[in-house]
Amino acid sequence: MATEASTINPFETAKRQVDIVADLLGLDSGVREILKHPKRELTVNFPVRMDKGGYKVFTGYRVQYNMARGPTKGGIRYHPQVTLDEVRALAAWMTWKCAVVNLPYGGGKGGVICDPKHMSQDELQRLTRRYASEIAPIIGPEMDIPAPDVYTDSQTMAWIMDTYSMQKGYSVPGVVTGKPISLGGSEGRGEATGRGCSYVIREAAPHAGIRVKGGTVAVQGFGNAGSIAAKLLHDEQGAVIVAVSDSKGGIYNAGGLNPHTVEEHKHKTGSVVGFPGAKSITNEEILETKCDILIPAALENQISKKNADKVQAKIVAEAANGPTLPEADTILHERKVTVLPDILANAGGVTVSYFEWAQDISGYFWPLAEVNQKLENVMVRSYADVHKVAEERHVHNRTAAYVLAIQRVVDAINIRGIYP
């Protein structure tokens, strides 16, 4: 049976968001059309030799949405439900995400339709190298820089970097980010999304009328971003983590959960479910948990008009991409819930990816403390920029972030002009 999340076309949502902001900015129809169309799309169908013999043909995509501000940047995901419209939408959101934190990038995204859970490491390597070969003509440090996303990781990036380098005849570490440290990866990249999210929550808390120290936090999605945000809020800012979940379910304890102990339990058992001393709750219930700060860090389309009026948090910080639907934004805004939108709240990942690229290009690498300090500077400044627009225009933070981002892209388009 189709769920609400599965029937929504993400690219239609992305274009709707552009129209809302274009109306606010009074953009003409020509610029709107540019903003609603990807610059370049590549679909590739390629064979991969399977372990049991024979070949299977896979379909992959790479979309470069907008290059007005610089080379495109964005992850590659491996998932059985990847669609071209999903990749288009994610590339559009990457364009706005890079612009809202003022990185000199446009947005891109890639995906391969496959089920990595049922593929061996050797099959994944052959798939990755062939996909990298197919998209090689349109990627590169000056053109388009991939990164990890759903079911891809630093090993995937190492294979892409090596495949691209073999075709060039020399090592090109700057072709991808999210690489292992030994191949030109950056210190701090692994925890950058969660860390950036924790900085933005800290900056927003006074405006939302709460204190992070002693404040309660619920995290839907105790994966990389969610678990790191929880640990940093707990360790560095004194927050109380009352609920966390993963794909198998959630746990709740009003007195607080130690995120490090929960993580150990998850490593041992494969899930947070069954953690001693905690009550079981569902992923739907965690969104409605009584808390000060809610961090949706799992899937898109989680907060809709059906449950937005039941959210009890004062701050919703989107560590995931697209967890809140547009109708829910309006409801939350009317209820004076501060939403920290994905293109701001989870932009720590792409920010440190930018740092990695800059380090690769220069061949000079920074210590962890310097990476984290630079990340904090970017996130603090970006939150202030978004908050200022929200106050001046009397709009919620998502619209403010889009106004800021789209205006920066439009400025670049107008200043460059249309060739020829």
- Which positions are catalytic? 109
Tell me whether strands 55-66 and 40-49 are parallel, antiparallel or unpaired. antiparallel
Q: How many H-runs (helices) and E-runs (strands) does the chain carry?
A: 15, 12
DSSP E strand stretches across 70-123: 72-79, 106-113
Beta bridge partners of 66: 107
Tell me the CA distances in angstroms from 172 to 58, 133, 137, 175, 379, one per residue in order. Answer: 26, 14, 14, 6, 29
Show contacts of 41-46: CB within 8 Å, 24+ apart. 41/84, 41/88, 42/134, 42/135, 42/138, 43/84, 44/131, 44/134, 44/135, 46/130, 46/131, 46/134
Distance CA 42, CA 21 (A): 28
Distance CA 183, CA 142 (A): 19
Angle at CA of residue 237, ends 384 and 185, nearest 5°: 75
Distance CA 133, CA 31 (A): 34
DSSP assignment of 31-79, as one string?
HHHHHTS-SEEEEEEEEEE-TTSSEEEEEEEEEEEE-TTSSEEEEEEEE
Distance CA 158, CA 128 (A): 10
Q: Which of 346, 341, 357 is nearest to 199 (CA)?
A: 346
Distance CA 183, CA 42 (A): 27
Q: What are residue 305's phi and psi, to 5 degrees? A: -65, -20
> Is 243 within 8 Å of 281 (Cβ atoms)?
yes
